[in-house]
Structure 1
Amino acid sequence: MRLTFAYPTSPGESTGGVVALFEFANALSRRGHDVRFLHGPEWPTRIGSLDELPEKCQGHGVQHFLVDAIDDPAVPDGDIVFLSDAPVRYGLPAVIVQGYGMLSPELEDAVFRVPAPKVCVARWLIDTGIGLGAPAEQFVHAPCGIDHDIFQVRTPLEDRPIDVAALFHPHREKGWPDLLAALHRIVEMRPGTRGVVFARNKPPQELPMGIEFVHSPDHQQLATEVYGRTRVFVQASLREGFGLTPVEAMACGATLVTTDNGGSHDYGIDGVTARVTPPGDPEALATATVGLLNDDAERQRLGRAGVDHVQQFRWDRSAEKLEQFLERYRSDPAAFQHPAQY
């Protein structure tokens, strides 16, 4: 198939949602498809040249185009385009849904109501779309994946020097105020706790005693120096489309304590692979975390179950599933283009 992706890639772009677009494009290209990626138009910024493409875009057989308009004559015709209002010559439209409740309701609801297939990276997004009136046959679950060659257990779960690790992100839905409050409470409840917070930018607030900041680690550093040495990884998000970071941590053997945030439903199963607490409750996060730090047997049980569970999240596996769905769409487009029922 001739498949076209489009996004106004910014310099240094590395957010989970954008990485997912690159990874889907790369995985479909590895499966032999003719994949094109349009970078642009500017909204509000865009890379100035293809030399600025992130590493994830390079070396996978994908054709990259820097465009000032979607209908750029240099871009060849296609079979499927992951854009709802693309020129007809790019093929049948489809959309990739990676979240809900992060942007304006009008914009997000409109995506679900496009009379075309919706590729959802988490199961809760399918439930949300059906609840908004979109036909069930328009949805396919193609979860995000991780690189298991990088994210794997290297340090025994019983021998880990970092008690707790977490990601700082300033977006309101990532729950940083709750996470910071939980970290303070963990240190109060369990003096001497050692922890790590990592991010591209340092949090503006002072971290609790014993919690260190690691600036912008790459994937290898994350896997070996953070996740792979951590006992408990804490996610405090109010809402997550999927949540790559906790899945990476679980694959490295860190036991997950997470809020019930939507995306976590695919990997954070309370009492089976994780401890799950209500969103917006830092006390519950802290209590669950300290409980696991004080119970090594339970922490290791959940950690090992988590390692096994997240083996399913692989880009090539999701690309195969998406490929099969798109082939059905191409063979009978009308069956996937019924309007939403408001």
Structure 2
Amino acid sequence: MPSGALRLALISLHTSPLADVGSGDAGGMNVMLRHSADALAGLGHQVEIFTRRAAADLPDRLELPSGVVVHHLTAGPPAPAGKREHEDFIAPFGAALAAQWSDWDIVHSHHWFSGMAAQPLAVDHGRPHVQTYHSIAAPNGRPLGEGEPPEGPGRIDGERHLAKTSDAVLAVSHAEAATVTGRLGADGERVFVVPPGVDVELFHPIEGEPRSTLVLAARLEPLKGVDLAIRALALLPAQIRPDLHVLGAPSGAYPGYDEELRALAAELGVASRLQFNGAVARARLARCFATARAVLVPSHSESYGLTALEASACGVPVIASGAGGLREAVHDGVTGLIVPSRDPQHWADAIAGMLTDPDRAAALGQQGRELALRRTWRATAQGWERVYRRLLGAGTPTTGLG
């Protein structure tokens, strides 16, 4: 290895960075892990990713073009599983990881399942443990949305344990960092903010093609607010109402949820304006964004909201809820609009304003592209590296919540 290079173990128990984004439980976490790992390898580090074997034919070891090595560990049946089932896989995954243990400099877990499997091993071997949550359980007592299952029994306690015992927490937004310190009890001196990046070569503006649709890209589950987008679509004046293209497949926990959304659209009289495209390849996603009039992100909760930044990279204005880190991914009135209300009429008004003022939409899209150009995956990897070196006592001191 090059002098100064680090040996890094990135742990992702419940979802593989190789999974198709928008299907099952694959989403922004998968994108972030894959691109950040590749960028860390590009900085000269040795990077290994450990994930659960979700199919019998997956190889034990797979080397990616960047040099990153992905290991598939057997924990539970070699088949897809719902997110809640993965709580039962923590112990066997930890045992499989222990059998593969090497002299890594840093162990970086992604999501609480991974942290609960890897953090005890890092302690046993005297290695620093870094935790990134990607999502955090809702507080006790919060009413569940329609169709939303309760949290797994160990999640909230597990997340609190990791917040207090990990050597560092890498948050994707200041909003997430505030949750980690305020709700989970982490020491703010050990919490660091490094936002995700975006591939500005893949996600780029396309000139000369008409923009005709609204686009929403997300797994199909109540958390993502697709129903709100459909209700807003129905409230738009018919003469300006575009088609809404929804890109994403039902989450493993919500089979058939797309049929519920189709029924809602039929009830509201906009079924002919709604198109479900399922999970799409990244290149097609970029093209759909670049040829949209606006991208909608009506989520109830987002640690950051990577699709918003990807849409901005395509020079397209974003209309988003004010949930969590979306206020950091979308600069209100600069790269898009934040709609703090979940009233469908407020959303319809915001969309109508964008559709009827193309000059403003173009200006928001241009400023979004400029923001995206400052947010690269290399910058994300460099942010992670600074935290790693701080933990190893080999870098410039960095304050928490930076």
TM above 0.5, one fold? yes
**Residue in structure 1 matching 2:34, options 8, 19, 22:** 22
Once the two structures are superposed, what CA deviation does each residue of 1:257-277 show, in whole Å capped at 9, x if it has no partner? 110011212221221221111
> Among 216, 231, 245, which residue is 1:166 paired with?
216
- Aligned partners of 2:60 and 2:344: how far apart in 1? 40
Question: How many percent of aligned residue pairs carry the same amino acid?
Answer: 21
Q: Does the 8 Å contact 1:170/1:176 carry over to 2?
A: yes
Which residue in 1 is equivalent to 2:87?
Answer: none
Residues in 1 aligned to 2:161 and 2:125: alpha-carbon distance in whole angstroms: 23
Residue matched to 2:204: 152
Q: What do the CA deviations read for 1:156-189 (whole angstroms, capped 9, x no partner)?
A: 5xx6332311125333321122122122223x45
Give 3-state SS (helix, strand or coil) of 1:270's partner: coil
> Against the structure 1 CA distance between its residues 53 and 185, is the aligned structure 2 distance closer, same or farther, given a 3 Å change threshold?
farther
**Deviation at residue 53 of structure 1 after TM alignment:** 8.6
Aligned position for 2:297: 235
Long gaps (5+) in structure 1: none
The one-letter code of the counterpart of 1:154 is I
- Determine the structure 2 residue equivalent to 1:270: 332
Which of residues 177, 185, 191 is equivalent to 2:227? Answer: 177
Following the alignment from structure 1 to structure 2, what is the Cα–Cα distance between the partners of residues 332 and 10? 32
In the alignment, does 2:182 pair up with 1:131? yes
Residue 147 (structure 1) shift? 1.3
- The structure 2 residue matched to 1:4, chosen from 9, 12, 15, is 9
In the alignment, does 2:367 pair up with 1:316? no
| Residue 61 (structure 1) shift | 1.0
Tell me if structure 1 keeps the 8 A contact 2:220–2:249: no
Say which is worse superposed, 271-280 or 116-125, in terms of deviation. Answer: 271-280
**Contact 2:200-2:372 at 8 Å conserved across structures:** no
User: In structure 2, the residue corresponding to 1:261 is in which secondary structure?
Assistant: coil
**Cα distance in 2, alignment partners of residues 71 and 255 from structure 1:** 43
Deviations 1:1-55 (A, max 9, x none): 1111122355745322133223222221221112122223xxxx6343544999x
Which of 121, 125, 136 aligns to 1:86? It is 121
CA contact (8 A) 1:259 1:276 kept: yes
Q: Are 2:246 and 1:220 equivalent residues in the alignment?
A: no
Structure 1 counterpart SS, 2:195: coil
Q: Any idea what SS the aligned residue of 1:66 has? A: strand
User: What one-letter code is carried by the residue in structure 1 that aligns with 2:258?
Assistant: P
Q: Which amino acid aligns with 1:231?
A: R
Q: 1:301 to 1:245 in 2, by over 3 A?
A: same
Q: 1:312 to 1:100 in 2, by over 3 A?
A: farther
| Counterpart amino acid of residue 147 in structure 1 | D
Matching residue of 1:108: 159
Task: Report the counterpart of residue 103 of structure 2 in structure 1.
Answer: 77
Instruction: Name the CA distance, whole Å, in 2 between partners of 1:13 and 1:229.
Output: 22
Give the gaps of 5 or more residues in structure 2: 1-5, 75-94, 109-114, 139-150, 251-256
Between the two proteins, the alignment pairs up a number of residues equal to: 326
RMSD: 2.8
**SS of residue paired to 2:309:** helix
Distance verdict in 2 for CA 1:175–1:192, change over 3 Å: closer
Moved more, 143-152 or 198-207: 198-207
State how far apart, in whole Å, the 1-side matches of 2:359 and 2:205 are: 17
Per the alignment, residue 67 of structure 2 pairs with 61
Aligned twin of 1:248: 310
Which residue in the other structure is 1:199 paired with? 248
Distance verdict in 2 for CA 1:171–1:86, change over 3 Å:
farther
Q: Is the 8 A contact 1:198 1:216 kept in 2?
A: yes
Q: Distance in 2 between matches of 1:168 and 1:126?
A: 23
Query: Using a 3 Å threshold, how does the CA distance of structure 1 residues 53 and 307 change in structure 2: closer, same or farther?
Result: farther
What CA distance in whole angstroms lies between the structure 2 residues aligned with 1:318 and 1:162? 33
Q: Is the 8 A contact 1:168 1:203 kept in 2?
A: no
- SS in structure 2 of the partner of residue 86 of structure 1: helix
TM-aligned CA deviation for residue 300 of structure 1 = 1.2
Q: Which amino acid aligns with 2:230?
A: L
Question: How many Å separate the matches in 2 of 1:115 and 1:234?
Answer: 35
CA–CA distance in 2 between the matches of 1:215 and 1:71?
34
Aligned mates of 1:215, 1:170 — CA distance in 2: 9
TM-score of the superposition, structure 1-length normalised?
0.85
Equivalent residue in structure 1 for 2:354, among 292, 295, 300: 292
